[in-house]
Structure 1
C-alpha cells in the first residue's frame, strides 16, 4: 500500500515541477488498525479480498445498503470483519483509521472522501486516482517476502502483468533462504559494521556468479583456430600416415550415422530441454540396435552433458537440495534395476524391442501434447511422493532408453514447482543416475554395437558448445511437434513390423 500527501480538496493538487512517481511506499500493519470499507458490490468485494489476502487478521467494517452473496461468503471466514447494512453516514468514520470508498456512486464517493478528510483520515477511492491519498498496489508474496508494485495510478494492467512476471521469476524457495538468513542474523555478534559486512558476504550468492566480460571476437577466434587446427591435423594424418587412413576407412558406417544423429539429437535437446533419450532410442531401434545397447549408448552420452549442465546449475544456485536428495537414491535404484533387467533380456531383443517402441510411442504422444499446450497454465496438484517419482522415472528411463526429463521434470513443473530449480535439480541428479545406469549396462553386456555407441557419445559431445545457442534461434514448439511426429511414426513402424512378422 503506498501513500500520497493528503489534502482537503476534491482535486489532486501537486507541485507543477513534480516529475515521475512521487509516491512514498510504506507497509501498513492493518492488524492494528480499523479499516472502514464503503461499498458492498463487485468493487467492494475486490478491495476486501485484497485486504484480507495480505492481512488476514485485519479488522474491517463494511458499510453498504446492499451486499453481494460472495461478499457474505467471504466475511463468514473472518470473524473480525463486520457488515453493517445501511446508508453511509459521516459518523461511521468516527472510529476509523483507514477508509476505502468502493461504490459506483461518484457523489457518494466524494462525500465519503470529504468525511474522511474532515477527520484527517487517509482514503482510497476506487478507480479515481485523483481522489486517492494512497493506492492499493499489486502485491507479490513469497512467504515473508512481499513486494508492492505501483504505476502511480497510470495503469493497473501493467502492475498486474509485472506481478505475474515476478511471481514466475521469484522461486518459492526464496522464503526458505529468508528464514535461514534470519537465523544467521540472530546468531551474529559484534558491532553493527561487522554484522552488515557478514550479511553482505552471505547474501552475495543471491546475485549469482560474477560474469567475466565477454568478447565475441576472441571467442570466434578461439573456435575458428580450433576447427582449423583439427582440420589440418586430420588432413596431415590422412596424407602422411597410411595407418590412420586405413583405420578411418575401416570404421563402420554405423559410427558416422550415429555421430550425425547424436549431434542433431543433442541440438534438439538443447533447444527444448528434453527428448534426447527418446529420439536417440527411437533412432537406434530403427537402425537394428537392441534395446539394451541403445539405452547404454544414451546413458553413456548423457554422463558428460548432464555433468556439465548439473555443475553449471549448481554454480548458479539452481539446485533444490531437499528435492535432489529425494530424487537421487530412488532414481539410482530404479535406473540400476531397469538396466539389469533390460540387459538380462538382451537375448530376447525381438520381444523387448516392440515393448520399448510402445514406450517411445507414448513419449512421442506426450511431447506432442506438451507442444500444443506449451503456453497454457498448469493446474496439476503438487506431487508429494518425490521418491516414488524418482524410482519410477529412473526405472523407465533405463528400460526405455530415455524419459527422465519427460517424466520427472515435466511432472515437477506441472505440479507447480519452479522451472529453474526443477531443471537444475533434475539435470544434476541425472548425471549420477546416467553414471550408475551406464556402469550396470557395461558390466552386464557384451555389446557388438560399440561403433553406434561411440558415434552417439562423440556426436552429442560435439554438439554441447552450440546446443544452448539453438534454443534462442528456433521455435521450441516447432521442434517439439517435429520430434513428436517423427518419434510416433518410427515407433508405429516398428510395432507394425513386429505384428506382421517382418524382419527389421
Structure 2
C-alpha cells in the first residue's frame, strides 16, 4: 500500500482518515497531524517520512481551513501575528532536528503533559463558565508548538490551542487563529523536509490524506462558529486527553 503498486481501494482508508482528522482539526484546532502521523507510522512509514507526508498534505488542508475560518470571521489577526513568526522559527528547528536525530525519547513526557492539559480543559468546560481574557504568553507557545509539530509529526494544535484556552482566550477565535497560522508553519516544515530529505520522503498515502482533508476542510470552521464556548472546551479537552493517552501507549509499547 505504501509504495509499489496501488489502486483506488488502497487510497480509501487514507481518504477516510484524512476526512475525519480534518473535521476534528478544523472544528477544534488540533489532531490532524497526530491522527495522520500515528496511522502512517503504524503502517511502517519512517517517522521523518510520515511527518513530511502529513505536513505536505497540511500545506493544502490548512490553506483551505484557514480561508474558511477567515470567511466565518473566526480569526484574531493580532493574535495571528504573534503566533505565526515564532511558529515558523520553531518549525524550521524541529524539522532539522528530526532529520538529524530521533526525538522519540521526549515524546511520552510531552504527551503526558498534554494529557494533563486536556483533563484540565475538560474539567473547566464542565464546572466553569469561560471567562475571556487576552492571552499573555503567546510567542513562546508559537515557538514550542512549531518545533514539536515538526519534530513529532503533530503538536501545533494541541500545544498552542490548549494553552491559549487555559489563559482564557475566546475558544472560537483561538481555533480559527491557530488553524490559519498553521498554514505558514506547515509550509515551512514541508519546505525544510524537501530541502533535507528530497521528494523521496513523501508517500502515496499523502494523496488519500489530501483528498479526504480537502473535502472536510470547509466544514470545521462552520462547526467552530456555531458550537458554544463551554462545549468547545469540553470537546477540546476530551480529544486532547484521548489522543495523548493513545500516543503515550503507542510510544511506550
**Where on the TM-score scale, by shorter chain, does this alignment land: which range?**
0.7 to 0.9
Distance in 1 of aligned mates of 2:238 and 2:80: 30
Larger strand proportion of the pair:
1
**Distance (whole Å) between structure 2 residues aligned to residue 296 and residue 286 of structure 1:** 15
In structure 1, what is the Cα distance between the partners aligned to 2:187 and 2:252? 30
The alignment's TM-score, normalised by the length of structure 2, stands at 0.76
- Is the 1:379–1:414 Cα contact (8 Å) retained in structure 2? no
Equivalent in 267, 273, 279 of residue 23 of structure 2: 267
Structure 2 unaligned blocks of 5 or more: none
CA drift at 1:486? 5.7
Structure 1 Cα separation of the partners of residues 168 and 40 of structure 2: 34
1:281 to 15, 19, 37: 37
Indicate yes or no: 2:53 matched with 1:300: no
- Give the equivalent residue in structure 1 for 2:76: 320
Report the Cα offset of residue 317 of structure 1: 4.5
CA change 1:467–1:364 in 2 (3 A) is: same
Q: State whether structure 2 residue 1 is matched by structure 1 residue 250.
A: no
Q: Is the 8 A contact 2:14 2:212 kept in 1?
A: yes
Unaligned runs of 5+ in 1: 1-248, 346-350, 497-504
Distance 1:427 1:308 in 2: 10
Contact 1:268–1:479 under 8 Å retained in 2 = no
* Bigger CA radius of gyration: 1
User: Which of 363, 374, 393 is matched with 2:125 structurally?
Assistant: 374
CA distance, structure 2, for counterparts of residue 263 and residue 391 of structure 1? 28
TM-score, normalising length from structure 1?
0.42
Structure 1 pair 275/362, CA: closer, same or farther in 2 (3 Å)? farther
Q: Is the 8 A contact 2:121 2:236 kept in 1?
A: no
Higher helix share: 2
C-alpha distance in 1, partners of 2:87/2:52?
16
Q: Deviations over 1:23-79 (max 9, x none)?
A: xxxxxxxxxxxxxxxxxxxxxxxxxxxxxxxxxxxxxxxxxxxxxxxxxxxxxxxxx
Secondary structure in 1 matching 2:38: helix
Return closer, same or farther for 1:362/1:298 CA change in 2, 3 Å cut-off: farther
SS at match of 1:450: coil
**1:455 shift after superposition:** 2.1
User: Are the structure 2 counterparts of residues 285 and 484 from structure 1 closer, same or farther at C-alpha, using a change threshold of 3 Å?
Assistant: farther
1:73-472 maps to which residues of 2 (within 5 A)? 250-251=5-6, 255-345=11-101, 351-353=102-104, 355-356=106-107, 359-360=110-111, 362-364=113-115, 366-375=117-126, 376-377=128-129, 383-446=135-198, 447=200, 450-467=203-220
